[in-house]
A and B are shown apart, each in its own frame.
Chain A
Amino acid sequence: MTAAANRPAGLRAWLREEAPSSRLQANLVQLYAGWRALRRNPLAMIGLAIILVLLAVAALAPWIAPFDPLHQDLANRLTPPGGAHPLGTDDLGRDILSRILHGARITLTIVVLVAVAVAPLGLAIGCLAGYFGGWVDSVLMRITDVFMAFPRLILALAFVAALGPGIENAVLAIAITNWPPYARIARAETLTIRRSDFIAAARLQGASSLGIIWGHVVPLTISSVIVRVTLDMAGIILIAAGLGFLGLGAQPPSPEWGAMIAGGRKYILDQWWVATMPGIAICVVSLGFNLLGDGLRDVLDPKQR
C-alpha cells in the first residue's frame, strides 16, 4: 500500500497499470479489474448493497434497534405493525423489528463460522487427495463421494440430534455435511498444478510433501474455495434457518430468524406478521448473497451462463 499512498493522485492509473512492477500491484490491478467488471452488473451491486446493510445492521444492532430484543411487554403482545412497533410485536410483546436487527448478528455469526470451519476441511482433504494421488486420492475421494451422496439436511439433522441442539452444534453439523464440494474443487485445482515445474523445483530442494502442500498448493487453491464458499452463503443461511425453525439451532429466547418463524407459526392465520417478517429478512439476505454470487461468478468464470 505504500506505493499507492505515495501517489494518491495517480491511484487509479496505478491500479490500471498494464505492466505492474510488484506482486502487490499485480494483485491489486487484477482485483480492480474484477471490481470494475462487477460494478457494471447492477444486480450484483444490489446484492453487495444488501450485504453491506446486513454488516452495518449486525455491527450497530444495539444502537439502532428501538427496543431490547428480549424485553417482554405482555400488555402489548401481538400488536399489528405500525406506531411504536413498525413490524409489530410477537406473542410475548417483544418488538419484532428489534429482534430482526439483532438476529442479523446471529445469521452472520453462523455463516462466518461455517465458512471458517468448512473451507480448511475441504482444502485439506482436496489438496492431500490431489497432491498424493494414488490410494490416498481413491480413499479420500470415496469418502467425499459418500458424503455427497446423502441428503445434506437430513444428515445435518441426524448430527444435531446426536450432538444436541444449539448454535454451535448446528454450525458443526452444517460444516460436517457441507465440505465435500470444496474438497472436490481443491482437488481439481491441485491436480492442475501438482506437476508444475516450480513444485518439482521445491521438491528437488528437499521440501517435504506437507511443506509443499502448505506453502505452494494451498495458497493457489484457496481463492477458488473462498469464491465457492461465498456462492454457497445463501444455502448455508437457509439450512441454518431450517434447523432453527425445527428447534435444533439457536434456542429461545435468541432472536434467530428461523426460530422466530417457528415461534410465530401458531399465530400465522390471525397475526400473520409474527412469522412473516423474519422470513422476509431471510429472503432479502439470501437474495443479496445470491445476486452478488452470480455477479462474482460472471466476473471470475465468464464461460458459465
Chain B
Amino acid sequence: MSIGQSLPGTGALASALGGFRRAYGLVGSVILTLLGLLVITFVIARVVPIDPVLAVVGDRATPELYERTRLELGLDRPLYVQFYLYLRQVLSGDLGNSVLTSRPVIEDVARFFPATLELATAATLLGVVVGVPMGVLAAVRRGSWLDHLVRVVGLAGYSIPVFWLGLVGLLLFYAELGWVEGPGRLSVGYEDIVDPVTGVILLDAALAGEWDVFRDAFAHLILPASVLGYFSLAYISRMTRSFMLDQLSQEYVTTARVKGVSEARIIWRHAFRNITVPLVTVIALSYAHLLEGSVLTETVFAWPGLGAYITSSLLNVDMNAVLGGTLVVGLAFVGVNLLSDLLYRVLDPRAR
C-alpha cells in the first residue's frame, strides 16, 4: 500500500463513489447536498432543549396524554426511523404548523418568500448594472480615481454591518432628506388595493395598471434594495476588475491592438466577452448570498419577507417555522448555485 493513498479494502467503495459522481454528476451532488440540509435541520430540531412533547400538550398535561403524544410524534422510535418519517413529511410538502401564526409553515413561507425575492432581485440588479461597468472601467484605467473608488467600495463592503447601514440610510434618506418611503413594503393607504398574483408588488401593480401603488412600492423598495445592493456591488465590481485585469494582460489583446482594433472594441467585444462566464458565477453567488443577507436587512426595514419571518419565529422559539424557513432559504441557495453551474456549462464550450 502506497503511503497515504487509501485504507486497505476501501478501494471498491472509493471507486464506486467516484463512478457515482461521474455518472450522476450534478444531480447526485445536488441530491446529497439537499439530504445533508435535511440532516442538519433534523439534528437542530433534535438538539433543541425544549421538549417537543411539552410544546404540543403543554406542561399541565397528564402523564397518560404526555405518553400518548410522545408515541404519536414517533419519539420512541430509533433516530433513523424518525429521520425517515421527517424526510417523508418534508417531501410531501408538510413542514408542520407555525405556533405563532397557527398556519402551516409551508403557507407562511409561500406568502413571505416573494417579498424576499423582490428585494434580493432588485439589489442584485443594482449591483450588476452599476458594479460591472465600474469594475471594467477600473481595470481599463488602472490607478485612476475610479480604480481607487472600486477598492474603497470593496473594503467598505467587507467592513460595514448591513443592519447598521440600513439604519443610517433610514436616518439620512427617509428622516432627513425625505427622498424615500420608510419601513415596510407599502404605505398604509395603498395596502390591499392590488391582488397578490405573483406576490411581487411591483409586478402585481404593473399588471393591474395601478401606477400609484407601483410608485409607492418602488419608493419603499429603493432604499433597502440599495443597502443590500451595495454589498453585491462591492463584490461584483471587485471581481469584475480582477477578471478584466487578467484578460487585458493576455497576448490576444496586444495582437488586437497591433492590428489597429479600436480600444472600445477590444474592451467590450474581446476582453469582456471572455469574462462573462466567470462573471455569471460571481453574480449567481452574490444573488444567493443576498437571499441570506436579506435576513438582517428585512429586520431593519420591517420588510415582510422570509428573513423577517425566520427571525421573528426564532425569538418566539417557533422551531417549525425556523426550520421550514431555513430549509427554503437553503433550497433557494442550492438552487441558485445549481443554476449558475448549469449556465456555466451552457456558456463555456470547454465545460461541455
B250 within 8 A of A: no
Q: Is the interface of B mostly helix, strand, loop or mixed?
A: helix
Cross-chain contact A194 with B44 (CB below 8 angstroms): no
User: What are 9 A-B pairs with beta-carbon distances under 8 A?
Assistant: A132-B6, A154-B325, A161-B317, A163-B47, A194-B3, A242-B162, A261-B167, A272-B171, A275-B167
CB distance from A278 to the nearest CB of B (A): 8
How far apart are the CA atoms of A275 and B299 in the complex, in Å?
15
Which of B17, B159, B245 lies in contact with A286, CB distance below 8 A? Answer: B159
Q: Which residues of B contact A149 (CB under 8 A)?
A: 33, 36-37, 330, 333-334, 337
Which of A147, A154, A162, A305 lies in contact with B310, CB distance below 8 A? Answer: A154
Cross-chain contact A287 with B155 (CB below 8 angstroms): yes
Other 12 A-B pairs with CB < 8 A, given A163-B49, A246-B311: A136-B6, A138-B17, A149-B334, A150-B334, A154-B295, A154-B325, A158-B322, A195-B3, A242-B163, A275-B167, A286-B158, A290-B159
Q: Which residues of A contact B37 (CB under 8 A)?
A: 146, 149-150
Residues 143-157 of B contacting A (Cβ, < 8 Å)? 155-156
Q: Which residues of A contact B207 (CB under 8 A)?
A: none
Q: Which residues of B contact A33 (CB under 8 A)?
A: none
CB distance from A42 to the nearest CB of B (A): 13
Q: Which residues of A contact B314 (CB under 8 A)?
A: 157, 160-161, 246, 248
Q: Which residues of B contact A236 (CB under 8 A)?
A: none
Residues 166-190 of B contacting A (Cβ, < 8 Å)? 167-168, 170-171, 175
CB distance from A200 to the nearest CB of B (A): 5
Q: Which residues of B contact A16 (CB under 8 A)?
A: none
How far apart are the CA atoms of A162 and B171 in the complex, in Å?
34
Cross-chain contact B3 with A200 (CB below 8 angstroms): yes
Given contacts A151-B289, A153-B293, A194-B3, contact A242 B161 (CB under 8 A): yes
Cross-chain contact B49 with A158 (CB below 8 angstroms): no
Q: Which residues of A contact B13 (CB under 8 A)?
A: 134-135
How far apart are the CA atoms of A183 and B158 in the complex, in Å?
23
CB distance from A172 to the nearest CB of B (A): 11
B296 within 8 A of A: yes
Given contacts A242-B161, A258-B161, contact A162 B44 (CB under 8 A): yes
**Residues of chain A whose beta carbon lies under 8 Å from any beta carbon of chain B:** 131-136, 138, 142-143, 145-147, 149-155, 157-164, 194-195, 199-200, 203, 234-235, 238, 241-242, 245-248, 258, 261, 265, 268-269, 272, 275-276, 279, 282-283, 286-287, 290-291, 294, 305
How far apart are the CA atoms of A158 and B7 in the complex, in Å?
36
**Using an 8 Å CB-CB cutoff, how does the interface string of B292-327 with A read, 1 for contact, 0 for none?**
110110011000000000110011010100110110
Q: How many residues of B contact A (CB 8 A)?
A: 63
Cross-chain contact B48 with A234 (CB below 8 angstroms): no
A-B complex: 5 closest residue pairs judged by Cβ atoms: A134-B6, A146-B36, A151-B292, A279-B164, A286-B159
Q: Is the interface of A mostly helix, strand, loop or mixed?
A: helix
Which of A133, A151, A155, A305 lies in contact with B5, CB distance below 8 A? Answer: A133
Which of B3, B156, B168, B242 lies in contact with A276, CB distance below 8 A? Answer: B168
Residue of A nearest to B20 (CB): A138
Q: Which residues of B contact A133 (CB under 8 A)?
A: 4-6
Residue of B nearest to A149 (CB): B33
CB distance from A77 to the nearest CB of B (A): 20
Cross-chain contact A138 with B14 (CB below 8 angstroms): yes
CB distance from A196 to the nearest CB of B (A): 9
**Using an 8 Å CB-CB cutoff, how does the interface string of B321-344 with A read, 1 for contact, 0 for none?**
011011001100110010000000
Cross-chain contact A152 with B14 (CB below 8 angstroms): no
B276 within 8 A of A: no
Cross-chain contact B160 with A134 (CB below 8 angstroms): no
Cross-chain contact B14 with A157 (CB below 8 angstroms): no
